[in-house]
A and B are shown apart, each in its own frame.
Chain A
Amino acid sequence: QQQVKQSPQSLIVQKGGIPIINCAYENTAFDYFPWYQQFPGKGPALLIAIRPDVSEKKEGRFTISFNKSAKQFSLHIMDSQPGDSATYFCAASSHAPLSGGGADGLTFGKGTHLIIQP
């Protein structure tokens, strides 16, 4: 069962455009939603993260919009550049107490391969 659905799988945007990547989740216990960026041959790098008590968060050119009632969140990249071309992953986790305590592991979406054309 895929708990975090990400779309689109791939996206091509012209330089300066605003790519938008969407994610939907099912588990209402999720309370932490990060976005990661991954370049070929590298591990994922945290871009920005949000908790469900806010509807929007901006960090530089990256913005997360969060809709708790719809169980959806999205990533917007302002003034996109060719260097933003990478694979983007949304993820979610919960901090509900488990037998061992602590946060459970991140559940990732399948990823979006983004290409920014010059």
Chain B
Amino acid sequence: KAGVTQTPRYLIKTRGQQVTLSCSPISGHRSVSWYQQTPGQGLQFLFEYFSETQRNKGNFPGRFSGRQFSNSRSEMNVSTLELGDSALYLCASSSPGSLGDTQYFGPGTRLTVL
């Protein structure tokens, strides 16, 4: 099976802009979670989608949003970018019936905000 894929791999934006990141989960996986990784804060949970519904949410401002499509692919959007949003954004998918236990991560999208 192909792994989790994320596009684009690298992105450079300026403050105030918005950005959309894409994630394709492993075939058959219906849960998609998003994480932000920074040197200072480490890996932090953003939100999780299952069957096109946001099921869980971390402690991030409303500028961070996401959605999931009927084919389980997911997108996350960050509006009004701030310098502190520079990070590696990771997507993880998990298989149905596993209670979301085993999360398989993609390679991430490296976002740089100038």
Contact = CB atoms under 8 A, between A and B. Distances in A.
Interface of A: 32, 34, 36, 41-46, 49, 89, 91, 93, 95, 98, 100-111
B107 A46 contact: no
A34 B58 CA distance: 19
Contacts of B114: none
Interface residues of B, number: 29
Given A46-B103, A98-B55, 8 more contacts: A32-B99, A34-B102, A45-B105, A95-B99, A101-B55, A104-B48, A110-B42, A111-B42
B22 interface: no
B101 A103 contact: yes
Contacts, number: 72
Interface of B: 4, 31, 33, 35, 42-48, 50, 53-56, 58, 90, 92, 99-108
A102 B108 contact: no
26 contacts: A34-B102, A34-B103, A43-B90, A44-B43, A44-B105, A45-B105, A46-B104, A49-B102, A89-B42, A89-B43, A95-B99, A98-B55, A98-B56, A100-B54, A100-B56, A102-B48, A102-B99, A103-B56, A104-B45, A105-B35, A105-B56, A106-B43, A106-B45, A106-B103, A107-B45, A111-B43
Contacts of A98: 55-56
A42 B101 CA distance: 20
A43 B107 contact: yes
A103 B43 contact: no
Nearest to B53: A100
